[in-house]
């Protein structure tokens, strides 16, 4: 079947209903567009779990803060549609802001606790915007398998919690981070990096790899793993937003004095010029991020 593109809630809802009433199942991949190989890997994962893949493209205004990059976020719809057709996506949903936020709208979805760490305090309101738009997309698509990247690890945990708490008929699947061969996590925002910034960007993955190697050698002190990363990133001229270690599922903060359990999340957010990059690794679980692309 060739790609069908929908711009209204009604059209997309009907298309998803038709998939299920014909005995099929739906694999949903929510994105903000400017697609890259990371998004396309999520499409493959959706196709392996469901008979039909649907990808949504919506730059969601409510998840951007007032001083963030909503206006300049890359929008490349024609190219995105071509990539989707080539990759075998069945349905794309690319709605307007008015479709997703009807006039007079007043409702937000908020998940407690999980948003008090990492990106939460740095981007007030961000996860409320994410939970709100993802619950709307789930409500339009209906029962489905939904695939999210572990690059946005905290987002994945927030969505898992939301879907479970609100009894949504959705199976949430987390997909490994897709990286460039030098370790840099693929991101639509990488397009903002100048060639010089791009050449420095892999230091984030290299520092994750260094901490991972120390952990594998038996280092369990959180501060000894975390602090050298801060120094190395600062020395390389990045402006740190955070380098944090938390528990891998509940995202409970782990202090520098604590000894780590066999699994813990190490997460980094840092600015390279004006571009904010995020990356993470679950110590005791994830492979070396500099060991070659997962794509």
**Where on the chain is the footprint of ligand AMP (CB under 6 A)?**
31-32, 38-39, 42, 148-149, 151-152, 175, 177-178, 185-188
Nearest to 66 by CA among 126, 26, 1, 148: 126
Q: How far is the CB of 88 from ligand AMP (least distance, A)?
A: 17
Which of 61/228 has CB closer to ligand AMP? 61
Of 258, 255, 265, nearest to 285 by C-alpha is 265
Q: Considering the complex, what minimum distance in angstroms separates the CB of residue 283 from ligand AMP?
A: 19
284-to-34, 176, 182, 221, 264 alpha-carbon distances in Å: 32, 14, 22, 14, 7
277 vs 271: CA distance, rounded Å: 6
Q: 38 or 229: whose CB is closer to ligand AMP?
A: 38
The Cα 77–Cα 55 span in angstroms is 12
Active-site entry in 6, 36, 39, 52: 39
Q: Is 39 a catalytic residue?
A: yes
Which residue, 48 or 231, is less far from ligand AMP as judged by CB?
48
Rounded to the nearest angstrom, the gap between the alpha carbon of residue 188 and the centroid of all alpha carbons in its chain is 11
Beta carbons within 8 Å of 22's beta carbon, 6+ residues apart: none
Q: Least CB distance from residue 104 to ligand AMP, whole Å?
A: 27
Output 30 or 229, the one with its CB closest to ligand AMP.
30
Question: Nearer Cβ to ligand AMP, position 95 or 149?
Answer: 149
Give me the helices (H) in the chain, please. 9-21, 37-49, 77-87, 97-100, 119-122, 126-141, 153-165, 195-200, 203-216, 222-235
**Contact at 8 Å (CB) between 29 and 54?**
yes
Contact 137, 32 (CB under 8 A): no
Distance of closest approach, residue 189 Cβ to ligand AMP, in angstroms? 8
Q: Residue 74 in contact with residue 29, Cβ under 8 Å?
A: no
| Shortest distance in whole angstroms from residue 178 CB to ligand AMP | 4
Residues identified as active-site: 39
């Amino acid at each position: 079947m060739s790609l069908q593109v929908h711009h209204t809630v009604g059209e997309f809802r009907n298309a998803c209903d038709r998939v299920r009433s014909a005995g099929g199942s739906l694999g949903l991949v929510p994105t903000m567009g400017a697609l890259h190989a990371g998004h396309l890997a999520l499409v493959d994962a959706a196709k392996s779990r469901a008979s039909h893949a649907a990808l949504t493209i919506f730059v969601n205004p409510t998840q951007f803060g007032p001083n963030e990059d909503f206006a300049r976020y890359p929008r490349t719809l024609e190219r995105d549609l071509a990539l989707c057709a080539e990759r075998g996506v069945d349905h794309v949903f690319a709605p307007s802001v008015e479709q997703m936020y009807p006039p007079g709208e007043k409702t937000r979805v908020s998940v407690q606790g999980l948003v008090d760490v990492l990106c939460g305090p740095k981007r007030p309101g961000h996860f409320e915007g994410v939970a709100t738009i993802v619950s709307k997309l789930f409500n339009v698509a209906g029962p489905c398998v939904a695939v999210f990247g572990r690059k946005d690890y905290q987002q994945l945990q927030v969505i898992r919690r939301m879907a479970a708490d609100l009894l949504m008929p959705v199976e949430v699947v987390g997909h490994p981070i897709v990286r460039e061969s030098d370790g840099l996590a693929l991101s639509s925002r990488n397009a903002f990096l100048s060639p010089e910034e791009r050449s420095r960007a892999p230091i984030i993955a290299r520092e994750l790899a260094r901490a991972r190697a120390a952990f594998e050698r038996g280092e369990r002190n959180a501060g000894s793993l975390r602090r050298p990363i801060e120094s190395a990133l600062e020395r390389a001229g990045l402006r740190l937003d955070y380098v944090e270690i938390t528990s891998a599922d509940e995202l409970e903060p782990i202090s520098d004095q604590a000894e780590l359990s066999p699994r813990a999340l190490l997460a980094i957010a840092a600015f390279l010029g004006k571009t904010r990059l995020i990356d993470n690794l679950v110590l005791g679980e994830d492979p070396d991020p500099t060991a070659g692309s997962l794509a």
